[in-house]
Amino acid sequence: MIKLAPFIEPRKADPRFASPMRFQMLINGQSVDAASGETLKRESPAYEGVIVSEIPNGSAADSERAILAARRAFDEGPWPRMSGADRAKRIERLGELIHAHREELALIECLEVGKTLEQARGEMNYSAELWSYAAGHARGLEGESHNDFGPGALGLMLRQPIGVVGIVTPWNFPLLIGSERVPWAIGAGCCVVVKPSEFTSGSTIRMAEMAREAGIPDGVINVVTGYGNPVGQLFAEHPACDMINFTGSFRVGQIVGGLAAARIKRVGLELGGKGPAIVFADANRDAAADTIARSIFGGQGQACISNSRMIVQREVKDAVLERLIHIASNVRVGDPLDPATQIGAMIHRPHLEKVEHYVGEGIRDGAGLVVGGRRLGNSGNYFAPTIFAEAGPDMSITRDEIFGPVLAVQTFDTAEEAIRLANDTNYGLSANVWTNDLGKAVQTIRAVRAGRTWINGAGTGGPEMGISGFRQSGMGRELGRHGFDEYSTLKNVYIVLQQGGSWV
């Protein structure tokens, strides 16, 4: 019989979701409903039948109103003309407010996303750190000078903000991913319109409301809510929007990129992943298994940088797999508000069914299901941590981004084979290598084509380190000093200091 993780039944009633949270969009510093008056209700992914929030169902007209507000704020307002120090003070203050309201924000994300309250708390703390780092760097942005044209000229390369940026964020880490983008964009002097997922808009709206208290001028940060088409799509189509940054699926990223390309508009994309963890025989096996398990099972595997593939050296496969099975069989899944819970719910029923479909394909393909493989509980969207021990390179569970708590295990004999298996994917977002041989670790990670990589770790890091993707995992850079380049443009200024003689 296949083992299943223990399940903590979701509570039937809790005063924290006795009535739905109601949010409004933020346009030009004003909290507003959709022009149509329509709203969208969010049913909790964890507590079946419980409506936890309600947001405006925006339209293209609402999106245009926000874009034009950002346009006016950029063209006529003080923000792009402020000193870097003045912008930095306000960005820093907003980070402080996020930290001060971390319990409120964590509860919003717990209820809307289905993640555990403890996980959400950690993400709110890190989001505040992102704002703090961006604030410190925003006052040190620089261009270039060229003093080698002789006595008659001086050259400058001026860094300037790109303009109005439309930012579309996903449902899995709404505030955190927004905080990886918004402070860098406004730190560069841009004005933004953010379209969070229609499932998880609450924390982003609260962040924009806090911007007013932080002293950020009206129109610099706007939030519109509703469906990607038409609300977010307009960011790629509208001439008043200079750039679109999209985080989400490869399929939608293709659409966004095509729309932006047709208008010669800058685009940043962070898309899917199929992250490999390469485990060599000399690795710390328990540490590798524990970290890989946390990566793929924590948050129900709903992270683009999850370790969804483990590529393990043949002679230690059984030992590492035994530890992984033990973890998957004992980690506690269930009620996100219960302090004992380690893994919460999946985002909604259609996604749960999609994961279920992939698991069924893995079973039919003979991938060797050793733990999990089915739903947990009688209500809510819960799925057991799942491991396939014999995943072939052409199976859908090995090739496709499932975005669920499903680990596909492959084996290798040589480092060259491990690298080939790791790179045998359309994606290139994340990867990690486990070994106690530093030379082997560095040579392997150099050869793996992925933008975010680790040696003997996964998922950790800081705002100082830029992030990116290879191939179908996207384009552009976020975080670190390179993140400001994403939202900046350079202007060539050639200064003539000495006039030449008469031409005629």
Query: Mind telling me the catalytic residues?
Result: 270, 304
Q: Which of 331, 327, 297, 333 is nearest to 9 (CA)?
A: 333
Give CA–CA dist 503/256, Å, rounded: 51
Question: Residues 6 or more apart from 176 whose CB is under 8 A from it?
Answer: 123, 126, 127, 130
Closest among 372, 354, 377 to 408, alpha carbons compared: 372
Upper half-sphere CA count for residue 314 (Cβ side, 13 Å):
5
Mapped to the 3 state alphabet, what secondary structure does 383-410 carry?
A: ECCEEECCCCCCCHHHHCCCCCCEEEEE
Please enumerate in sequence order all residues whose Cβ is within 8 A of that of 171, keeping only pairs 6 or more positions apart, or say none: 113, 196, 197, 199, 200, 347
DSSP character string of 316-376:
GHHHHHHHHHHHHHHS-EE-TTSTT-SB---S-HHHHHHHHHHHHHHHHTT--EEE--SB-
Q: Computed from CA positions of residues 140, 246, 113, 61, in that sequence, does the dihedral angle turn out positive or negative?
A: positive
Tokens linked to 127 = 């989001």
Residue 292 exposed, middle or buried by CB count within 10 Å (0-12, 13-18, 19+): buried
CB-based contacts of 138, cutoff 8 Å, min separation 6: 84, 87, 88, 91, 183, 187, 188, 484
